[in-house]
Amino acid sequence: MRGNRRSALGLIAALAIGLAGCATETPAAAPSATGGAYPVTVGSVTLAQQPTKIVSLSPTLTEMLFAIGAGKQVTAVDDQSNFPADAPKTDLSGFKPNAEAIAAKNPDLVVLSDNLNEIVAQLTTLKIPVFVAPAAKTVEDSYRQIADLGTLTGHPADAASLVESMKGRMAAALASVQKRAKPLTYFYELSPDLYSATSKTFIGSLFSLAGLTNIADPLDSAATGGYPQLSAEALVKANPDMVFLADTKCCQQTPETVKARAGWAGVTAVAKSQIVGLDDDIASRWGPRVVDLFAAITGAVNKVPA
Give yes or no: residues 51 and 143 share one domain.
yes
b/e code 271-300 from CB counts within 10 Å (16+ = b): eeebbbbbbbbbbbbbbbbbbebbbbbbeb
Q: What is the pLDDT of residue 35?
A: 59
Instruction: Say which CATH number the domain at 229 has.
Output: 3.40.50.1980
One domain, residues 239 and 133: no
Domain-terminating residue out of 134, 167, 200 = 167
Q: Are residues 161 and 27 in the same domain?
A: yes
Last residue of a domain, one of 125, 146, 167: 167
- The sign of the torsion formed by the CA atoms of 67, 72, 73, 76 equals positive
Name the least confident of 15-24, 44-53, 77-86. 15-24
145 and 79 share a domain? yes
Residue 8 lies in a domain: no
Residue ending a domain, among 167, 196, 220, is 167
At 11, the pLDDT band (50, 70, 90 cuts) reads very low
The residue range of the domain holding 103 is 17-167
The whole model's pTM is what? 0.86
In-domain check, residue 255: yes
pLDDT reported for residue 302: 97
For the chain, the domain total comes to 2
pLDDT at 306: 86
* Amino acid type, 62: T
Asked if residue 110 and residue 83 are part of one domain, the reply reads yes
Q: Are residues 99 and 204 in the same domain?
A: no
Question: Residue 251 falls within a domain, yes or no?
Answer: yes
Distance CA 253, CA 258 (A): 7
Instruction: Provide the sign of the torsion angle of the four alpha carbons 174, 83, 275, 240, taken in this order.
Output: negative
